[in-house]
Structure 1
Amino acid sequence: MHLVQTMAYVNETPWHGLGNQLAPNQPLEVWAQQAGMNWKIEESEVRFVAGSTGLGSIHAFPEQKVLYRSDTKAPLSVVSSRYQVVQPAEILEFYRDLTEVGGFELETAGVLKDGKKLWALARTGQSVSLKGRDKVNGYLLLATACDGTLATTAQFTSVRVVCNNTLAIALGDSTGAVKVPHRSQFDAQAVKRQLGIAISSWDGFMARMKALSDRKVTVESAEAYFRRVLTYQTGSASNALDKPSATTNDSAIRAVHDLYSGRGKGAALASASGTAWGLLNSVTEYVDHQRRARSEDHRRDAAWFGHGAALKQKAWDEALKLVV
């Protein structure tokens, strides 16, 4: 079962092998058609029938509204009447000036979960080659959901070419992402102004990647790193003197250790072999491509927006501690 209902892409075939391939530099109107984003989110007040039979009286519930697709009339969610909708067209339109004059190039866009989640991903044109051969490209992801699971999020992210691993670009001040809750109106230009601060964050991110690729690690420190990243707090303390219990995911540690030791894509490159950059990428490859999930799409959803994204952030934070 694929979460991806429709999507379009240029260049490489995406992670699940599905989608409509486009020639480069297509207009946004073509993207909307081929990515399945050429519809609107409509809304209607909630109504219910009072009484056990179908002959009961119909009443309205003004505090909430139903969101549905304009094309199929399929319901999407029931939300607060104050909920601010972000339309599929707004996700693509966000990139118009970036692609026409800013040097960005759309690479994928599409619809998840029957339209409940929408996204587009564009290459920024920024890239770095670590020790000559290990190339990492910069991207800007814009995603929203109309079922309450995700604020409209603009996030700078990186993709390591050799293995297609993704990593959110977030520095200490978190300017790599802008999140607009659905109780607020989505203002694309305001978001881009905020991201303008973050475009320079690529330079800081690049410096950190280079530092990680230069930092050699011992077998012992690699093992300790994996244990720090893959140990979870699993319970709450019953009183102030108790500590929450911790669980270590031993199978995940074995998997990332195998990736780090040579099985991972790009693990043998000089930038990754025996380095903190190699440690980080063994975790990102595990999360993006190997972690157990109901489907490839569920894994990608988690890797971008859910627990997998949080795990990669933890791996990044722990890796940086090695180079401070």
Structure 2
Amino acid sequence: MAHLVETMAYANTTPWHGLGNRLSAKQPIDVWAEQSGLSFEIKETPVRFMSESAGNLDSIMPFPEQKVLFRSDTKVPLSVVSNRYQVVQPREILEFYRDLTEISGFELETAGVLKGGRKVWALARTNQSSTLKGNDTVNGYVLLATGCDGTLATTAQFTSIRVVCNNTLAVALANGSNAVKVPHNTTFDPQVVKNQLGISVSSWDGFMHRMKTLSERKVKSHESLNYFLRVFTDPSMTASGLSNERAMKKVLALYEGNGKGADLASSKGTAFGLLNAVTEYVDHEKRARSTDHRLESAWFGAGATLKQKALDQALLMIA
């Protein structure tokens, strides 16, 4: 089966999805663009059609309300969009990090192309890091991604990654949201996004305070079962099949000791352990057509939604 990941590069340790070209640390943006596959441009051309009358083909006619987006290198078409659609180029995703890496101490760790160029992303580690009891370290990252097929606005997200298991979790921003999204009918302004993102000590400290509180919240066996029932129950389903029993069984096993870091003091028998059982399930264990399908889901799709639900339910336990 073809991978969703077209090309990708990474620095430092191998990422949890195990894909990509390895780079040495602190490579310049130009090297990242070449090795990650983000060196192409997204071009556009008007939609045209050919009419037919009496068995003969007439002249080629334009359809001015829409345009075709295609890759500059391969000429492969990517999507048909409205003329109002404003493209964000792959190189712009990397350039977003230039001042952050050169001045603010950030370091690019992964970047790449999904779905043949329909989605691109880059992930950089910030200089923010915290450690919970049991030497359980969590590092801060910034993820920036965009799409050109109508399925993803340009999205900037402050993200945490737990070192022991590489579990990822969105960090709430100062305004309470978990991402800054720029629709493609508006202009992408990197500086405005950085200001809205608020890559600040206060956001990180607030997030880690909640994680520390979760790690100190002891959980009884019936509470863990109720938690997983709330997370894996779909209210839209009928009473005959409200919960995903297969997922619950897997996540419970992760929580009770099978998960990476499940026996650390921060996780064993705690609400933080409950949350990390779900994030590990989404990032590493959940059934997926391929590793790169799992990556897309964990960052942008159903997996990201499930992790947010797990976080919301965990925070109710310390409210």
TM range (shorter): over 0.9
Structure 2 distance, partners of 1:227, 1:94, is 40
Match of 2:251 in 1: 256
**TM-score after normalising by structure 2:** 0.96
The residue type paired with residue 155 of structure 1 is Q
Structure 2 distance, partners of 1:71, 1:198, is 38
> Is the CA contact 1:234–1:246 (under 8 Å) kept in the aligned structure 2?
no
**TM-score after normalising by structure 1:** 0.94
Match of 2:303 in 1: 308
Structure 2 distance, partners of 1:28, 1:212, is 38
Q: CA deviation at 1:194?
A: 1.1
The residue type paired with residue 9 of structure 1 is Y
The residue type paired with residue 188 of structure 1 is P
Query: What SS class does the counterpart of residue 233 from structure 1 fall into?
Result: coil
Q: 1:121 aligns with which of 100, 113, 123?
A: 123
Match of 2:51 in 1: 50
Structure 1, 162-171 or 20-29: larger mean CA deviation = 162-171
> Is the CA contact 2:100–2:106 (under 8 Å) kept in the aligned structure 1?
yes
Distance 1:54 1:258, change over 3 A: farther
> Is the CA contact 1:213–1:276 (under 8 Å) kept in the aligned structure 2?
yes
The residue type paired with residue 58 of structure 1 is I
Tell me the percent identity.
Answer: 66
> Is the CA contact 1:176–1:198 (under 8 Å) kept in the aligned structure 2?
no
Match of 1:19 in 2: 20
Q: 2:193 aligns with which of 170, 173, 191?
A: 191
Structure 1 distance, partners of 2:131, 2:202, is 18
Q: 1:92 aligns with which of 91, 94, 100?
A: 94
Structure 2 distance, partners of 1:96, 1:285, is 31
Distance 1:48 1:312, change over 3 A: same
Query: What SS class does the counterpart of residue 120 from structure 1 fall into?
Result: strand
Query: What SS class does the counterpart of residue 127 from structure 2 fall into?
Result: strand
Structure 2 distance, partners of 1:112, 1:84, is 19
Unmatched segments (≥5 aa) in structure 2: none
Q: 1:62 aligns with which of 64, 83, 88?
A: 64
Q: 1:279 aligns with which of 262, 274, 280?
A: 274
Q: CA deviation at 1:177?
A: 1.6
2:42 maps to 1:34: no
The residue type paired with residue 109 of structure 1 is A
Unmatched segments (≥5 aa) in structure 1: 236-242
Match of 1:238 in 2: none
Q: Per-residue CA shift, 1:14-69, capped at 9, x if unaligned?
A: 23333111111110000000001111000000001111757222111111000000
Distance 1:232 1:198, change over 3 A: farther
Q: CA deviation at 1:133?
A: 0.9
Q: 2:286 aligns with which of 279, 284, 291?
A: 291
2:311 maps to 1:323: no
> Is the CA contact 1:234–1:245 (under 8 Å) kept in the aligned structure 2?
no
Match of 1:104 in 2: 106
Structure 1 distance, partners of 2:198, 2:140, is 14
Structure 1, 26-35 or 195-204: larger mean CA deviation = 195-204
Structure 1, 292-301 or 207-216: larger mean CA deviation = 292-301
Distance 1:224 1:78, change over 3 A: same
RMSD after superposition: 1.6
> Is the CA contact 2:173–2:198 (under 8 Å) kept in the aligned structure 1?
no
Within 5 Å, give how 1:261-272 maps onto structure 2: 261-272=256-267
Query: What SS class does the counterpart of residue 144 from structure 1 fall into?
Result: strand
Moved over 6 A (4+): 243-246
> Is the CA contact 2:134–2:265 (under 8 Å) kept in the aligned structure 1?
no
**Number of residue pairs the alignment of both structures matches:** 317
The residue type paired with residue 117 of structure 1 is K
Within 5 Å, give how 1:133-152 maps onto structure 2: 133-152=135-154
Q: Per-residue CA shift, 1:223-262, capped at 9, x if unaligned?
A: 0000000001235xxxxxxx99862001111000000000
The residue type paired with residue 65 of structure 1 is K
Structure 1, 171-180 or 61-70: larger mean CA deviation = 171-180
Structure 2 distance, partners of 1:304, 1:285, is 13
Distance 1:199 1:119, change over 3 A: farther
Match of 1:240 in 2: none
Distance 1:171 1:70, change over 3 A: closer
Structure 1 distance, partners of 2:239, 2:156, is 34
Within 5 Å, give how 1:195-214 maps onto structure 2: 195-196=197-198, 199-214=201-216
> Is the CA contact 1:76–1:146 (under 8 Å) kept in the aligned structure 2?
yes
Structure 2 distance, partners of 1:171, 1:46, is 40
Q: Per-residue CA shift, 1:89-133, capped at 9, x if unaligned?
A: 100000000000011100000000000000000001111110041
